[in-house]
Amino acid sequence: MDKYKIIIVEDDEITSLHLNIALQKQGYSVIALCHTADLAKYKIGTTNPDLVIIDISLQKSNDGIALAKYLHEECDIPFIFLTSYSDDEIISQAKLTEPSGYIVKPFDTNSLHATIQMALFKFEKDKDSSKNFKDTTIKKTDIEKLLLEKRTENEPIVKFAKEYHIDIAMHETFYQNKKIKLTKKENAFLRLLVAQLSHVVSFDQAVSYVWQGTHTKHNSIRTLVWRLRNKLESEVIKSDSGMGYYIEA
């Protein structure tokens, strides 16, 4: 079996060296050691790795998170964060990029191997599931019917997550009874998710409903979700990698 190809993006030379040695001992092929995000982008584009390991605090800035965002939105490649941070704000930013895992410094070689294997397994599984997933066109009338079924008694209110609700009559979303300003597409996508609580809304379903069948790339949906998550007060929208998004009931 061919070795998995991995790129390490780490600006600390000693950490990068230790990672390189540990990965090669475990049978992986380290195809590039990068100390900047720009170099990593070039290597990713020219070598097509199976996985990228990124230092979350690259260059003592948000370069690591920015690189992860690029991988998430532009590439079909799983990535893992390497971090010594416990700062909630930094972790919250990192989570929005939907990494396949985290490795905490100083890393343990067995945990390193397990994290990589789980990331690669889940990525392949999700990719296979995505290939077999059939597109379903969703009509506006179907969504409105589902929302009506979920409303609170006779009020036009549909509650979801914690302290959120949608006023289906006003087409507006609230958190702790305070209105959240959303664009037309953000509002449509959120209604779609709430109407199908706990069910994954696929990329194709989102295009069908939010963009009304107009041709658009899946990256447009990822960007929409990114913006929407930043407007919500808590982590409401969950990801099913390779499939789509959902909100837990």
Asked if residue 196 and residue 90 are part of one domain, the reply reads no
Asked if residue 223 and residue 150 are part of one domain, the reply reads yes
Of 132, 154, 173, the position where a domain reaches its end is: 132
Tell me the CATH number at 47: 3.40.50.2300
pLDDT in tens, 134-149: 445 677 788 888 898 8
Strand order in the sheet with 157-160: 157-160, 164-167, 172-175, 178-180
Helices (H), 52-175: 63-74, 88-95, 109-132, 140-150
Of 100, 132, 164, the position where a domain reaches its end is: 132
Q: Is 120's pLDDT higher than 80?
A: yes
Asked if residue 123 and residue 14 are part of one domain, the reply reads yes
Asked if residue 40 and residue 13 are part of one domain, the reply reads yes
Asked if residue 187 and residue 151 are part of one domain, the reply reads yes
Domain tally, the chain = 2
Rounded CA gap, 98 and 111, in Å?
Answer: 20
pLDDT band at 73 (very low <50, low <70, confident <90, very high): confident
The domain containing residue 239 runs over which residues?
Answer: 140-246
Of 132, 158, 186, the position where a domain reaches its end is: 132
pLDDT in tens, 167-215: 998 889 999 999 999 999 999 999 999 998 888 888 888 888 888 766 6
> What does pTM read for this prediction?
0.55
Asked if residue 121 and residue 37 are part of one domain, the reply reads yes
pLDDT in tens, 31-45: 999 999 999 999 998
φ and ψ at 109, to 5 degrees? Answer: -60, -35
Q: According to the model, what pLDDT value does residue 74 have?
A: 80
Asked if residue 227 and residue 152 are part of one domain, the reply reads yes
Helical axes 63-74 vs 218-231, angle rounded to 10°: 140
